[in-house]
Amino acid sequence: MVRAATHYGFVRPTCLAESLALWFLLGQQGIPAALRIGVRKKLGDFEAHAWVECDGTALNQASEQHRHYATFDAAFTESPGEQP
């Protein structure tokens, strides 16, 4: 659903916006997923990337692109509005 919206929409959202939407929708369906954010330095430039993982598999990645980023130690695992 998120991929179709980004493909056919009028604007191309960032990886963070797309990942947040997917993470939220999965959480609403009770599917455990983690929002991951990673960073890297490429040719002197700082870059960041976001994706969603479920059981260690990236869901919104066509390739292994996320493997080139150093992730923050903690994943965001609880959807907004969930009570710990």
Note the pLDDT tens digit of each residue in 3-51: 666 666 667 778 898 899 899 999 999 999 999 888 888 888 888 989 9
Query: Where does the pLDDT of residue 58 fall: very low under 50, low under 70, confident under 90, or very high at 90 and above?
Result: confident
Q: Give domain status of residue 80, yes or no.
A: no
25 phi-psi bin (left φ>0, alpha ψ -120 to 50, beta other): alpha
What are the structure tokens assigned to 32, written together? 């455990």
Q: Give domain status of residue 42, yes or no.
A: yes
Alpha-carbon gap, residue 51 to 2, rounded angstroms: 12
Q: Give domain status of residue 78, yes or no.
A: no
Q: Give domain status of residue 77, yes or no.
A: no
Q: Give domain status of residue 10, yes or no.
A: yes
**Based on the structure, what is the number of domains in the chain?**
1
Query: In this model, does residue 80 exceed pLDDT 60?
Result: no
Please give the torsion angle defined by the CA atoms of residues 5, 11, 16 and 19, in that order, rounded to the nearest 10 degrees.
0
Q: Residue 28's domain spans which residues?
A: 2-71
pTM score:
0.71
Query: Where does the pLDDT of residue 76 fall: very low under 50, low under 70, confident under 90, or very high at 90 and above?
Result: low
